Amino acid sequence: MMMFVSLLLCVNSLRQGPSYPVYFVRSDSIYRLSQGKESLVVKHAVSPAISPDQKFLAYIREGNLFVYDVDKQESKRCSSLAEKPSDLPDHDLYPSWDERSKFVIFSHADRYSILRRGEEVASMYGQPKASKSVWNVYWYWLKRGTTKSGLSIFLGNETSGISSFSLPSTLAASFSPDGRKVAFCRNGDLWMASLEPGSIHDGIREASWDEARVLPCGTQEGGTRASNETTSIFRISWSSDGKLLALSSDRYGAQGSAEVLIVKVDHPSEKVASFSGSEACFLDGDHILYVKPNRQSQDIWLRDVGSGDEHVLIAHATEPSVNGKG
């Protein structure tokens, strides 16, 4: 009887709203849901990520990283990246904080030129050179002075040592709650890197670690040339206990194909749940926030991972974020 009462209280509490802030986007501005009340935080901004210490909010504005000081209510521009190529999504992808709230990483697309060298061969498309848009993961340290770009590449073709003819896309990087692992998407698949948090500091230019592909999820250059469809993970979120991952994937160029896949970190091939939706992030170890579109708008839903029970938490909203991990 006591267990039933405790469960009922928990459900009622979640229906009234989470006990800690949830950041989200509505009409290209960032809002906060706290103690059941919504408030505007930053205008003309997307992709919110609050730091684990709750002091700073990272977000994207016009393709660049900004950090908002919660106490001072002031924003600082942290990068000056080139305009995003027009053939990719309209803004950069979700920032993620390290567990110490020292630096933030986020995904940005760069344009590369590929030249054909060596013995002359027939070109597939009749061109001796071509350009390609490739996602890289950049990082920004709060205490580092702003340089020309304000950033260094954290994960990408430059740090992974891949030939420039391969140019793999690396994006959606997300730190585990203890800071010892980084999950990320490379060429559509789930990869995992293991590292010692103490080895990452603001004096080094690149991160080095052991990394491996742990789950094939899609193909970055798949589909037909006519449809240009590609399947890729574009958001990764860790559960608060570090045992589960929520993977949001989509088939670019198609409609209604977004999916949320929940897997075990130790056994990523073991699926816990999957359902239609996007932009998923864990609220805690048992509940997840995600975006479900309807005919009129998009809403943020709260879903119980185990039972699948769910309800609308925030209407007309997208991009939920809690504790910088989603």
Residue 303 located in a structural domain = yes
Q: 180 in a domain, yes or no?
A: yes
Does the residue 11 lie in any domain? no
Report the predicted TM-score, pTM, of the whole model to 2 decimal places.
Answer: 0.82
Q: How far apart are CA 39 and CA 33, in angstroms?
A: 7
Residue 292 belongs to some domain of the structure: yes
pLDDT in the model for residue 186: 87
Mean pLDDT per 10-residue section of the chain, whose length is 326 residues: 39 56 95 94 95 94 91 91 62 87 88 60 52 82 60 67 59 91 89 78 60 77 44 88 92 64 93 93 92 85 94 95 69
What is residue 31's predicted lDDT score, i.e. its pLDDT? 98
**Which CATH number do you get for residue 138?**
2.120.10.30
Q: What's the confidence (pLDDT) of residue 136?
A: 87
Domain that holds residue 244: 21-114+127-321
Query: For the chain, what is the domain count?
Result: 1
pLDDT at 86: 60
Q: Which pLDDT score is estimated for 182?
A: 92
From residue 265, alpha-carbon distances to 208, 246, 271 in Å are 21, 10, 10
Give burial (CB, 10 Å; 0-12/13-18/19+) of 145: exposed
- The whole-number pLDDT of residue 139 equals 86
